[in-house]
C-alpha cells in the first residue's frame, strides 16, 4: 500500500520510535497525525507533514477526538502505528513489599488497552474509506517487545502488557480482514530511545554486548524503516516480527 496522499496516525509520535516513524511516513508523502501527551509535544521536532495532536491513549474520549481529526483530513486515513508505551519495572516481591497493583494496571492500561482503543476507533474510520486493489483499505501496526517472550526480572507488568499486544495481533487481523485492514506487530529489542538516554555509555555497551549481530543497540529509524516495509507489503498480515539482532533476553 502506498502512503503518499493518505493520512496516518502515529501514537507516541513526539519522540523515540513514534517520532522516527512519523517523520518517515511524512517523507513518503503521508499527512501524519502524531498523538502524544502535551508535555511530550512541547519538545517535539517540527516536521513538515506532521501534525501533533494532544492525546492520552488511556482516555477514550481524547482518542476518539484525535481519530476524528485524522479521519477528517482531505486524505483518506489508511495507516495507524501504535508506538505509545511506558516501561517501568517492579518486582512481584521486592524489598519494599509486593508489586503495586495500581502500577501493574497503569502499565497494562497504557501499553495494551491504549493500543486496543486506538486500533479499534481508527479501524472504524479506515473501514469507511474507498477500497483499493484487492479491497484493501489500510494497515495497523502495533508495538510489542521482545519482553513479551523473554521478560526479565522486574518486568512482570511490562511483559504482560506486551504479551497482550502479541496475543491481540492474530484475532485483530482476523476480525478486520473483512474490512480490508491488515494488522501487524513489531517486537523491538533494545533500541536507542529516550528511555535509554539517561544511562551511562558503559551500561549501554554492556547491553549491546549481549546482542548476537549486529552487536549494537537498534535505532528508531530502523523501526520506522521496518514499519514502512510492512505497510508497503500487501500480503503481510497477522504476523509479529522481532527486530532484535537475534537477541534472547537473559533473566536479568
* 252 neighbors 152 (Cβ within 8 angstroms): yes
**Measured CA distances, 30 to 46, 220, 234 (Å):** 15, 19, 17
* 130 neighbors 157 (Cβ within 8 angstroms): no
**In angstroms, how far apart are the furthest CA atoms of the chain?**
58
To the query of whether residue 158 is one of the catalytic residues in this protein, the response is yes
DSSP assignments along 80-94, one per residue? EEE-------B-SEE
Which is catalytic among the residues 52, 149, 158, 179? 158
CA dihedral 133, 136, 140, 141 (to 10 degrees): -40
> How buried is 17 (Cβ within 10 angstroms: 0-12 exposed, 13-18 middle, 19+ buried)?
buried
The 10 Å CB-count burial string (b at 16+, else e) for 190-218 is bbbbeeeeeeeeeebeeebeebeeeeebb
* 85 neighbors 40 (Cβ within 8 angstroms): no
* 7 neighbors 33 (Cβ within 8 angstroms): yes
Which residues does residue 139 pair with via DSSP β-bridges, in sequence order? 79, 182
Task: Just list the catalytic residues.
Answer: 158
Amino acid at each position: 500500500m502506498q502512503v503518499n496522499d493518505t493520512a496516518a496516525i502515529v501514537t507516541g509520535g513526539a519522540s523515540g520510535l513514534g517520532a522516527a516513524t512519523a517523520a518517515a511516513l511524512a517523507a513518503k508523502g503521508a499527512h501524519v497525525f502524531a498523538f502524544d501527551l502535551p508535555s511530550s509535544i512541547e519538545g517535539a521536532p517540527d516536521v513538515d507533514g506532521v501534525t501533533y495532536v494532544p492525546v492520552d491513549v488511556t482516555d477514550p474520549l481524547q482518542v476518539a477526538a484525535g481519530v476524528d481529526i485524522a479521519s477528517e483530513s482531505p486524505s483518506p486515513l489508511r495507516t495507524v502505528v501504535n508506538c505509545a508505551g511506558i516501561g517501568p519495572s517492579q518486582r512481584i516481591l521486592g524489598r519494599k513489599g509486593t508489586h503495586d497493583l495500581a502500577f501493574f494496571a497503569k502499565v497494562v492500561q497504557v501499553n495494551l488497552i491504549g493500543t486496543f482503543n486506538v486500533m479499534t476507533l481508527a479501524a472504524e474510520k479506515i473501514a469507511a474509506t474507498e477500497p483499493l486493489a484487492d479491497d484493501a483499505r489500510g494497515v495497523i501496526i502495533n508495538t510489542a517487545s521482545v519482553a513479551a517472550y523473554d521478560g526479565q526480572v522486574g518486568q512482570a507488568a511490562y511483559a504482560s502488557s506486551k504479551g497482550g499486544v502479541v496475543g491481540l495481533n492474530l484475532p485483530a487481523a482476523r476480525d478486520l480482514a473483512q474490512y480490508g485492514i491488515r494488522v501487524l506487530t513489531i517486537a523491538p529489542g533494545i533500541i536507542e530511545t529516550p528511555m535509554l538516554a539517561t544511562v551511562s555509555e558503559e551500561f549501554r555497551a554492556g547491553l549491546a554486548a549481549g546482542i548476537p549481530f549486529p552487536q549494537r543497540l537498534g535505532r528508531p529509524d530502523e523501526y520506522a524503516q521496518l514499519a514502512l516495509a510492512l505497510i508497503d507489503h500487501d500480503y503481510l498480515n497477522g504476523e509479529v516480527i522481532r527486530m532484535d539482532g537475534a537477541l534472547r533476553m537473559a533473566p536479568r
